[in-house]
Structure formats: structure tokens, C-alpha cells
Amino acid sequence: MSGDGHFDRVALIGLGLIGSSLGHAMKRGGLAGEIVGSARSDATRARALEIGFIDRAETNAADAVKDADLVVLCTPVGAVGAVAQEIAPHLAKGAILTDVGSVKASLIDDVGPHVPDGVHFIPGHPIAGTEQSGPDAGFPELFDGRWCILTPLEGSDPDMVAKLSSFWEACGTKIDVMDAKHHDLVLAITSHLPHLIAYNIVGTADDLETVTKSEVIKYSAGGFRDFTRLAASDPTMWRDVCLNNREAILEMFGRFSEDLAAMQRAIRWGDGDALFDLFTRTRDIRRSIVDAGQEVAAPNFGRDPAKED
């Protein structure tokens, strides 16, 4: 085993946006001797082979993990427990078992008990994605410049954590390590709440009787369209996130709702100074995100014609 992020055989369980992007990234970097992919749908497996981000497809996850020295669970978070149970007897001694799930504490509860002795279970989460899903959604650059958070268990072998870190770095990410509970809190505000708020406002707009859907669509460039991107994300994935990170999400919901009530009150009472202060304070954070390389600097995300300089 080397520290260069290379594995002899990698098994991808689930071939959606993240699984397919990981396949592309491994191909780009020459990170795997063989990539074996497993998905329940015949069409998905056939398409994955056709695109070529896996070398071999298996119907059953249990067959895919045989002799793999890296197994990556890329299914929605709600399915990982059943998958872990299915593959457990077939995992190779010394293999690393990881995942890409957006929730970590419940996943450790679901997967951990099935992991046999001698298999290194190191949960992970690359903070990258698009609103698209399925085997056609992946591309090799998805992880470039993004962060991957690893949440090793107590007693995880540091050499194995280092090996998995090298693998993700070779896929383009930077690495952070934290405990699962903190990960779930951080993601609740940076990812889960934004998606849920976006789903919610799009749902609200869809339900109005005083404004037609056609009007919402035509005038969406006033701001609304931004939210429709997150609200077009995979429903199964996000249902599972809600069901598996309930506590942290509800805590962040509580904070958000308190702040929203304060804003409503400021609007109702015409407190322009309070509104101006908030609207000024929030400007800085975007600049910081651009400076940190996590966002483009171009106006409108660069989607409109470039301004002339």
C-alpha cells in the first residue's frame, strides 16, 4: 500500500452523481487498477460501462466488493445500512470501507455494526455536487478545489486515514478531519438548511393563487431562479438527509426562524436601520467565499453575458 492514493481494486456501490464523478476522477488520475461498479438498475450499470467510468459492473453489491481494497458507498444515506449488511461477509481483510453521505452520525450507527474485524471503516463526505443526478451527471472535475471531510471512528488506524486522504487529494479535494456530530451540525447550516429553504420557497411560489406559475417563471430572474437550482436536487437523497440529521436540522431551522421573525418585525415596523445593518453585514461573507476559492467572482455566477471591462 502506498501513500499516493492508488488502490488495486475500487468498488463503487451506487453510480449516481457522486459515484460517477468519483469513477471519472479515478480514471483521470489513474488511481485504481480496476473500478467495479454496482447499481440496482440495469440501465444505470449499462450506461456506466458505456460512458466508461467503471471497468466492470455487478448487479449485486456483494459481488462488487470481492477483493476490493477500497469500497465506497455512494447510495443515498437511507440505503447504506442495508448495503452494509449485504456486503459485510464479502469484504476483504484490510480493505477500507468509506462512503460519501451528507450525514455522518446516523450513518455510523447504521453501517458500523456490520463492519467485520480487519476492515477499516472511515466515513467521508466530499462537499461537492450539482443539482443533477444519475450516471450521466458525473464529471472528473467535480471535486477539484472542494473539501472532503473524513470522520474517522475512535481507534481508526491513522495509516488508513492517511491513505484515504491521499486518495481524495488525488481526486482533487482538500481534506479536513472532524467528529461525526460536528460534521452534521456544520452541514446542517452550510448545506441542509439551504436546500430545505430552497425547496420550501419554490413550493410556496408553486402554491400561490394570486400569482400564476407563468408569472413566477417569467420574472424569476429577479432572484427566485437561484433557489430553483437547489430545489431541483435529488428527492431521495434529500428525504434521507432530513430523516437522518433531524436534530441538527431542526436546531438550525429554529435559529433561522427566530431571525426571520425579527426581520418580519423590522419590515412591519419600518425599521430601516436594522434592515440596512443586516443587508450590509451579509455582503462580506460572499467575498470571503470567493477569496477561499469556493465560488466564482463573476456577477450572476457568470451565467449571464460577461460584463465589459
Instruction: Tell me the C-alpha to C-alpha distance, in Å, between residue 228 and each of 77, 134, 239, 286.
Output: 23, 19, 17, 20
Does 177 bind its own copies (CB under 8 A)? Our answer is no
The stretch among 34-42, 109-117, 150-158, 186-194 that binds its own copies (CB under 8 A) is 186-194
By CB under 8 A, which span of 61-69, 79-87, 110-118, 271-279 interacts with its own copies?
271-279
Binding flag, residue 30, its own copies (CB under 8 A):
no
The CA-based angle 28-29-34, given to 5 degrees, is 90
Choosing from 128, 150, 161, 164, the residue that interacts with its own copies (CB under 8 A) is: 128
Site for its own copies in 210-269 (CB under 8 A): 210-211, 213, 215-233, 235-236, 238-239, 242-243, 246, 249-250, 252-253, 255-257, 259-260, 263-264, 266-268
Among 34, 86, 144, 169, binds its own copies (CB under 8 A): 144
Q: Is 150 in the site for its own copies (CB under 8 A)?
A: no
Instruction: Quote the least distance from Cβ 188 to its own copies, whole Å.
Output: 8
Task: Provide, rounded to whole angstroms, the least separation between the CB of residue 114 and its own copies.
Answer: 22
What is the nearest approach in angstroms of its own copies to the Cβ of residue 240? 8
Q: What's the CA gap between 138 and 15, in Å, rounded? A: 9
The reply on whether position 166 binds its own copies by CB under 8 A is no
**Count of residues in contact with its own copies, rule CB under 8 A:** 115
Nearest to 60 by CA among 37, 79, 43, 78: 37
Q: Is 29 helix (H, G, I), strand (E, B) or coil?
A: helix
Work out whether 71 is an interface residue with its own copies (CB under 8 A): no
Q: Which of 237, 35, 205 is nearest to 132 (CA)?
A: 237
Check residue 294 for interaction with its own copies (CB under 8 A). yes
Within 13 Å of residue 257, how many CA atoms lie on the same side as its CB?
A: 7
Q: Name the strands in the sheet holding 96-99, side by side, starting at the edge strand that comes first in the sequence.
A: 56-58, 32-38, 7-13, 70-73, 96-99, 120-121
Q: Is 227 helix (H, G, I), strand (E, B) or coil?
A: helix
Q: Which residue has the cell 461537492?
A: 128
Minimum separation from the CB atom of position 170 to its own copies (A)? 17
Least separation, in Å, of the C-beta of 225 and its own copies?
5
Of 37, 123, 129, 135, the one binding its own copies by CB under 8 A: 129
| Sign of the Cα pseudo-torsion (157, 153, 2, 84, in order) | positive
Query: Judged by CB under 8 A, which of 79, 139, 153, 177 binds its own copies?
Result: 139
Q: 169 near 124, Cβ under 8 Å?
A: no
Check residue 60 for interaction with its own copies (CB under 8 A): no
What would the x/- binding string for its own copies be over residues 87 to 126, using CB under 8 A?
---------------x------------------------
Contact present, 172 and 199 (Cβ < 8 Å): no
Binding of its own copies by 149 (CB under 8 A) = yes
Residues 6+ apart with CB under 8 A from 207: none
- Can residue 197 be called a binding residue for its own copies (CB under 8 A)? yes
